[in-house]
Structures are given as C-alpha cells and as structure tokens.
Structure 1
Amino acid sequence: MRFEKLDIAIAGAGIGGLSLAAMLASRGANVVIYDQMAAPQPVGSGFVLQPTGSAVLSHMGLLDKAAARGAVINRMHGKLAGTNKTVLEIGYGKSRHGIAIQRVALFDILLEAAIAAGVKFETSSKAIDISDGERPAIVLDGGRMAPSADLVIDAMGANSPLGYIPTKELGYGALWATVPWPEDGPFHRHELEQRYHRASRMAGVLPVGTAKDGAPKMATFFWSLRNQDIDTWRSAGRAAWIGEVKEMWPETVPFAEIAEPVHARYRHHTRKPIAGRRILRIGDAWHATSPQLGQGANMALLDAASLVTALEHSTSIEGALALHVRQRGLHIRFYQLMSFVMTPFYQSDSRVLPVIRDIAIAPTTQLPLMRQLISRLVTGEFLDPVKRIGL
C-alpha cells in the first residue's frame, strides 16, 4: 500500500499513538494527532522497556537514545516484608536485559521522532467519539468534527470514552512517585526490587535513569493501595504513610518523605480491536491489564509496529486491519489471560492466594525449565510477538 495517499487521524498522544504516528509519517502518510492536553505531555512514572519494546524502538532507530537515558535491568527480585524471604526471582539471562526508563524520557524521544517525521498536532482537542463511515472522523468535545480520514486510531488508553465500561476497574491501584536515585543507597542499580505483605500490600523500587541528557538519575517508588482507601490515605496524612512504609520496608522511608505520589487506577478489559469501518484501537484502548506483568507500553509499541507492517503488506486498509489483528491477537489473548490469573496472587484481599504463591509457586519458579519459561513470560517474548508482526 502506498502510504503517501493515506490520511491518518490518531486520538491520543501516548506511547502507542506517538510511535505509530512517527512510523506512518516517516513512510509518507499524512498523520494528525488529536490530544486533550494543551501541549503533548506524558502521563505516568517509570516502567521497564522489555526486549519486545526494544525491538520496535530498534526498528525505528531510537533504541540507542532510549538506552542512553534508561537503566539496565537484569533481575526482578521480590521478598516478603519482615522475613526477607525471596518469593520472586526472575533473571533475563546472559545476553538479554530490560531497560527501565522514565515515561517522560521515552515520550520526549518519540515526540521528537514524530515531529521530525512531519506529524501534525491538534492540542486541546478532546476526542469523545468517532463517526463511522467510509472516511471516519473524530468527534471532539463540544461537537466539533475533525476532518475525515482514511483510518482513525483510538490510542486514548484504558479510559478511552469509546466503549468505556466503569465496572472493569480493578480493586487495587498504586501510588507512584519519581524520586532521586541514591547512588550509595541499599538498592541494586540493575534490579526491580519489591516487598510484599500478603497480597494486600506491595512496594517497589525501580532505577529509571535520567529524564534527559545531564539530568540526575532517578528511581520510581510505588506502593499498592485499594482504590476505595485513597481518601482515607489522604486524610491520614504523610506521617501515617511514612509509619506504614517504615514498618514494611524501612530502607524506602527517605523516598516516602520526599515523594509527590500520584494515584493510578487500573483496568482489565479486552475490547474489540476494530471499532468500526476503518476505526482501530491500539494499546490499552484495546487491551488493558494490571501492571503485574509490566507489558503495557511494550504492548502499545508492538501494536503500532504491527499495524505498520500490516499496511506495508496489504493492498487495502480493510485487509491490513485484518492482518494486524491476526498478527497481534494470540499474543494479546495469552497475556490478558496470564495477567487475569496472576494479579490476585500479588494484589488482592485474599489470604489464601499469597500463601499458595509463597509456598508452592515461588519454589517452582526456581526450577531450571520454569525459570526460562517465567523469564520469557515477563519479558513479553512468549509466542514470539516480534516475529509474528514481521519486524
């Protein structure tokens, strides 16, 4: 398909929307991103760029930039609070690793690539719907219609208004904060470290590198919390929270003392990827989960790359959308199922599941074959999604 003749409208300037826009525009498509913000800006803290997401950035020629700002992650290590008993240990192996990066750092890299490729931006333009038809169009807040396009992409994330279902929200969210990385502190510079109290409390520390060249190194500190308890947490004040942090993981008290945490809520849903004629969902707008498997941004990057390769190998938009769904469907269904099954062992009110996790699942994951399988699961490489999308 000739990209030069394509008009593409994308709702949402997140990781998925920006990467897709940059790839399409660099191939000659006319791409416009509509975003509700006054200026494009990231939402969220740090995350681990897995080998799958790194493969997409390498394809885009952006991996070196991301690696320069991120921190190499070789292992994920979780212990029980108080006893320091290891109940989660996942390594990447000798030749592979993750890249922990601040969302703002990757956002800036993708935004720069999109602008360089000629992507146009319509800011302060909140999408509330998409009109169906041979040439669909984004409906903006206030009833204004954006120009019609050959293809419209919903990249508005888990809270996209298209097909929004409030009951899909999970019971547990988390407090996230970006804090200075303590060079001489007790934390490992190449690990994601976590502490658990049953499944009702989880805290983590992730080194996430620098936001930009010359900036100080930072870490992401996160603390799980039931969504229904957020008002109680706010009312109790910082001193009460610091007391909880000290009891569970004393070494992280300095983070809690200076953190400016943001409360994140999570959803689990799998919507239909094709929302109408020539209307497509990608990323969390299609498939949202809890962050337990750490696949969100990586999945969005894979979705974006898959659509581009599908368009390259198809003679029609309809054929490209069908090919794209075939390329991504199995991988997405598998990880949606795994997230649904595994999340209650780490974030839930159950007293039984964390016991099963600690005395049965944790030792099993140390067996050689299981270690390899779990590693491929967490890195997102199970079912070889990069090969499936034809990179």
Structure 2
Amino acid sequence: MKLDALEVAIAGAGIGGLSLGAMLARRGVKVVIYDQMTAPQPVGSGFVLQPTGSAVLAVMGLADGVRMRGANITRMHGKLAGTNKTVLEIGYRQGEYGIAIQRVALFDLLLQTAVSVGVAFETSSRITGLAEGEKPAIVLDGGRMAPTADLIVDAMGASSPVGYDPAKELGYGALWATVPWPKDGPFHASELEQRYERASHMAGVLPVGTAHDGAAEMATFFWSLRNGDIEAWRRAGRAAWIDEVAAMWPEAARFAEIAEPVHARYRHHTRKPIAGRRMIRIGDAWHATSPQLGQGANMALLDALSLTLALEKAETVEEAFALHLKQRQLHIWLYQMLSRVLTPFYQSDSRALPFMRDVVIGPATRLPLVRYLVSRLVTGDFLNPVGRIGAGNYSTTEIPSLAISNT
C-alpha cells in the first residue's frame, strides 16, 4: 500500500494514539489526532513499561529518553498488612527489567515525536461516534462531522463512547497520586511494593523517576477502593484516610498526608476490533482490563506498532486489518483471560480467593518453574508478541528503517 497517499484520523491523544500517529506520519501518512482536551495532555499517574512496551519505544527511537526519565524495576514484592508475611514475590529474568515511568514523561516524549514528524491535532473536539461510508469520519459533539479519512482509529481508551457498555465496569477502582520519592527510605528504589488486607484493601508504592530533566524523583502511591465507596471516602475527609493508611501500612501514611489523589475506574471488556468499514480500535478501546497485570500501556504500544507494520505490508486497508488481527488477537486473548481470572484474588469482596492467594499462590511463586512462568507473564512476552508483529529483536539496530528521529 502506498502510505504517503493515506489519510488517517485518530480519535484520542493517549499513548496508543500518539505512538500510532507518530509511526504512521514517519512513513508519509497524513495523520490528524482528535482529542477532547483543550491541549494534548496525559491522564493518569505512573505505570511500568514492560520489555514488550520498551521494545516498541526502542523501534521509535525513544528508548534512551525513557531510560533517562524512568526507574528500573527488578522486583515486585507484596506483603500482608499487619503480619508482613510475603505473599507475592516476582522478579525479572536475568538481564530484564521494567521501567516505571510517570505518564506525563512518556506522553511528552511521544507528543514531541508526533509533532516533529508532522502529526496534526484537533483539540477541544469531543468525539461522540464514528460514521461509516466509502470514506468514514469521526462524529463530533452536536453531530458535527470531521473531514473524512481513508482510515479511522478509535484510541479513546476504555471509556470510548463508541460501543460503550456501563455494565463492563469493575466493582473496584483505585486512588492514584504522584508524590515525592522519599530518598530516606524505607521503600526500595527498584521495587514495586504492595500491602494487602484480604482482597478488599490493597496499597502500593512505585518509584517512577522524573517528569523531565532536572525534575525531582517521584513515586506513585495507589490505594484500592470500591467505586461505590468513593463518595463516603470523600465525606470522611483526609484525616480518616490517613488513619486508615497508617493502620494498614504505617510507612505509607506520609503519602496520604500530601497526596492529591485521583479516583480511577477500571473496565474489563473485549470489544470487536473492527468498528466498521475502515474503522478499527486499538488499546483499551479494544481490550480493557484491571491494572493487576500492568499491561495496558504496553498492549496499546504493541497494537500501534502492529497496525503500522500491517499497513506497510498489505495492499489494502482491509488486508492490513486482517494481518494486524492475526498478529495481535491470540496475545490479547491470553492476557484478557488471565486478567479476568487473577483480578478477584487482589480486588474483590471474596474471602476465599485471598486465602488461596496467601496460602497457595504466594508460596508457589517461589518455586523455580512457577517463578519463571510468572516472570514471563509480568513481562508480557508470553506468545512472543513483538516477534508475532514482525518487529524482530528488542532493538532499533534490528529494524533501522523504523526509527523515528527525535530532533
């Protein structure tokens, strides 16, 4: 397919939309990204880039920038509140690590790259739907139609209004806040640390590096919460929350004292990837899960690279869609299934499941074979997703034609 003759409209300026837009524009595609914000800006706190997501960023030429801003994570360690009994112990394989990064840091790198390669932006554009036709179009607030395109991509995340189903929302969400990293301890600079009280309470601390050069090192603090309890939490006030955090994890009370938390809701769904003729979904708009496996942003990056390479290889948009789905569907199915099975062990009202987690699953993760399998699960590389999309090794030296200049 001749990509320099292609016009693509992307709904949503998140990680998936920006990375896809940048990769396509680098190949000569005319790309316009629509977003409801008055200016492109990130939504959310910190997360872990797994080796799969880092591979995509390496292909884009952004690996060094991510490493400079992020914090290397080599271990995930969870304990029961009160007893300090270890019930989760996950380490990366030799030579591997995750990169914990603030969403704003990655967003800025992707936005800078997208702008540098000619991606256009239409901000203050609230998207309400997609219109099919010989050349589809994005439908804006008030029924206004954006200019038609050869291809429409829904990258609006789990709450995309296109095919939205409120019944897919999970019962538990979380409070997230970015707070200064305490260099005096007691937290570990290369670990995601968590505390559990059954499955109804979970807290975590993740070092996430710096937002930009010269900025202070930060951490992400999260606290699980039933969505139905958020109003009661607000009415109770900060002092009550500080007391609750201190009772469960005394060392983390300092974060509750200074945090400006944002309440995040989660969804679990697998929508049809093809939204209509020449219309496709990527990222959480296609496949959303809870954050327990930490794969959301990594999956969006994989989707973006897969669709880009499929469009480059195929003769038509329809053939590209078919190739893209062949490359991604099995990996997505596996992680959707695992997320559905494992989430209730960590966020639910069940008493039996956390007991099984603490008595069976936790000790089992110390066995060599189980530890190996769990580490592969966390890194996201079950079924070799990077190889399946034709991206080769985790290095731009293997695919020099794909690198995007950041200058």
State the TM bucket, normalised to the shorter chain.
over 0.9
Q: Secondary structure at the match of 2:164?
A: coil
Mapping for residues 219-230 of structure 1, pairs under 5 Å: 219-230=219-230
Aligned to 1:62: 62
Aligned to 1:126: 126
Q: Secondary structure at the match of 2:135?
A: coil
**Alpha-carbon deviations, 1:208-253, whole Å to 9, x = none?**
0000100000000000000000000000000100010000000011
**Alpha-carbon deviations, 1:320-370, whole Å to 9, x = none?**
001001100000000000000000000000000000011111111111011
Q: Secondary structure at the match of 2:143?
A: coil
**Alpha-carbon deviations, 1:29-50, whole Å to 9, x = none?**
0000000000000000000000
Q: 1:171, 1:271 → 2: CA distance? A: 19
**Alpha-carbon deviations, 1:302-322, whole Å to 9, x = none?**
000000111111011000001
User: One-letter code of the match for 2:126?
Assistant: K
Q: Secondary structure at the match of 2:13?
A: coil
Q: What displacement does 1:255 show?
A: 0.5
Q: 2:3, 2:210 → 1: CA distance? A: 35
Aligned to 2:405: none
Aligned to 2:311: 311
Mapping for residues 369-384 of structure 1, pairs under 5 Å: 369-384=369-384
Q: 2:304, 2:264 → 1: CA distance? A: 24
User: One-letter code of the match for 2:210?
Assistant: T
Q: 2:3, 2:104 → 1: CA distance? A: 29
Q: Secondary structure at the match of 1:332?
A: helix
Aligned to 2:274: 274
Aligned to 2:28: 28
Aligned to 1:37: 37
Aligned to 1:190: 190
Q: 1:385, 1:171 → 2: CA distance? A: 30
Q: 2:337, 2:143 → 1: CA distance? A: 38
Q: What displacement does 1:125 show?
A: 0.6
- Count of residues in Structure 1 that have an aligned counterpart in Structure 2: 391
Q: 1:83, 1:93 → 2: CA distance? A: 29
User: One-letter code of the match for 1:19?
Assistant: S
Q: 2:221, 2:387 → 1: CA distance? A: 34
Aligned to 2:159: 159
Q: 1:87, 1:361 → 2: CA distance? A: 8
Q: 2:133, 2:387 → 1: CA distance? A: 33
Q: What displacement does 1:195 show?
A: 0.3
Q: What displacement does 1:136 show?
A: 0.3
Mapping for residues 252-263 of structure 1, pairs under 5 Å: 252-263=252-263
Q: 1:329, 1:322 → 2: CA distance? A: 10
Q: 2:303, 2:22 → 1: CA distance? A: 13
Aligned to 1:138: 138
Aligned to 1:7: 7
User: One-letter code of the match for 1:177?
Assistant: A
**Alpha-carbon deviations, 1:48-78, whole Å to 9, x = none?**
0000000000000001101100000000000
Residue 171 (structure 1) aligned with residue 185 (structure 2): no
Aligned to 1:87: 87
Q: 1:71, 1:153 → 2: CA distance? A: 32
Q: What displacement does 1:127 show?
A: 1.0
Q: 1:363, 1:252 → 2: CA distance? A: 25
Identity over aligned pairs, percent:
74
Q: 1:93, 1:385 → 2: CA distance? A: 17
Q: Secondary structure at the match of 2:142?
A: coil
Residue 46 (structure 1) aligned with residue 58 (structure 2): no
Q: 2:387, 2:108 → 1: CA distance? A: 27
Q: 2:22, 2:311 → 1: CA distance? A: 14
Q: 2:75, 2:364 → 1: CA distance? A: 17
User: One-letter code of the match for 2:168?
Assistant: K
Q: 1:344, 1:77 → 2: CA distance? A: 18
User: One-letter code of the match for 1:63?
Assistant: A
Aligned to 1:216: 216
Aligned to 2:394: none
Q: Secondary structure at the match of 2:52?
A: helix
Aligned to 1:265: 265
Q: 2:93, 2:293 → 1: CA distance? A: 18
Q: Secondary structure at the match of 2:79?
A: strand
Q: What displacement does 1:197 show?
A: 0.2
Q: Secondary structure at the match of 1:142?
A: helix
Unaligned 5+ segments in structure 1 are none
Aligned to 1:99: 99
Aligned to 2:338: 338
**Alpha-carbon deviations, 1:91-143, whole Å to 9, x = none?**
01220000000000000000000000100000001111110122100010111
Q: 2:129, 2:225 → 1: CA distance? A: 32
Q: Secondary structure at the match of 1:42?
A: coil
Unaligned 5+ segments in structure 2 are 392-407
Normalising by structure 1, what TM-score? 1.00
Q: State the 4+ residue runs in structure 1 displaced beyond 2 angstroms.
A: none
Q: 2:345, 2:15 → 1: CA distance? A: 28
Aligned to 2:386: 386
Q: Secondary structure at the match of 2:267?
A: coil
Normalising by structure 2, what TM-score? 0.96
Q: 2:36, 2:10 → 1: CA distance? A: 12
Residue 116 (structure 1) aligned with residue 86 (structure 2): no
